[in-house]
Amino acid sequence: MKKTATRLADGRELIYYDLRDDAVRDTPDRRPLPEVATASEVRHDPLLGDRVVIASHRQTRTYHPPADACPLCPSRPGRDSEIPADDYDVAVFENRFPSLAGDSGRCEVVCFTPDHRASFADLTEERAGLVLDAWTDRTAALSRRPAVEQVFCFENRGAEIGVTLGHPHGQIYAYPFTTPRTELMLRSLAAHRERTGRNLFDDVVADERADGRRIVLEGEHWTAFVPRAAHWPYEVHLYPRRRVPDLLALDDAARTEFPQLYLELLRRFDRIFGAGEPPTPYISAWHQAPFGGWEGRGVDRADFALHLELFTIRRTSGKLKFLAGSESGMNVFINDVPPEAAAERLREVANQ
């Protein structure tokens, strides 16, 4: 992998990740861009104890532009984009409309491919491995920033999810705090350790493998399953066999096998609802251990287990799972698809 860091016209960082060591990335950004102005503020909710990000400047962000005006495609004569080069392998840049900025953290965009019509599932294993390298490199870099406590790599796919740019891309959020979802995991992890002396993540994966009904896919170094208490109609958790706290700690064998299994999972997701159906909308989210704030938690950073969560809000053909009263008001999820049935369907669509 070759990494080339440069700057866009307004000073934001742009990083190219290339498979070829002889790739040259010296095309300047000639756009007359104004300085980025953000109004990001993190506020604390005293009743729930979590944080809310107020980012009013995002109201003016780019919204469903036509394909010939996509800001994530390579630049062309007469049409400059966020990527000055006329081609790229993987590119990462600071979001022009960040939810988090400055002392409140940082937001980055990860462009998986220059092909506007493709998806992550269309990538080769080599290119998917390069994306994994980019996620890992950015996790390392962002974790060193003084204001950052947790790094979150994710992809939103599909207009149904709320995606406003159709080009295949993901994002990275660097939070100045530990997120509420992770806080819940850490509390459960500590309580399980206190009660049993064992690691909760290890026990969950071991129980799923022993049961077998919800296993979707297994490799030598990874296990994918639908959790017993899945929140979403089709939800898969992908764990490395060797527990590690973050992407940086994956060994070479796990890094090599990951693209094979992950691409297969994404392709199966697109086959869940049968031939002729539109691409399945999904969220893909890496859960990594926080890089700070471990004092008094009752567990260590090494106790956390890196894992990827992949889920769709589509519950059946033409119908979505909405977060209505129970979910949005009380945070009690109601799942219309039994996890065992979801796992069976994801096994059925293998290699179709």
Closest residue by Cα to residue 170 from 115, 123, 120, 238: 120
The residue type of 134 is A
Residue environment code for 284-321, b if the CB has 16+ CB neighbours within 10 A, otherwise e: bbbbbbbbeebeebebeeebbbbbbbbbbbbbeeeeeb
Closest residue by Cα to residue 233 from 335, 326, 158, 322: 335
Active site residue 44: no
Catalytic residue among 169, 192, 221, 237: 169
Task: Find out whether 173 and 104 touch, Cβ atoms under 8 Å.
Answer: no
Helix (H, G, I), strand (E, B) or coil at 13: strand
Tell me the two tokens of residue 19.
């498979």
Q: What is the rounded CA–CA span in Å between residue 24 and residue 18?
A: 9
Alpha helices in the chain (DSSP H): 125-143, 180-196, 200-211, 252-269, 330, 339-348
Q: Which residues are catalytic?
A: 169
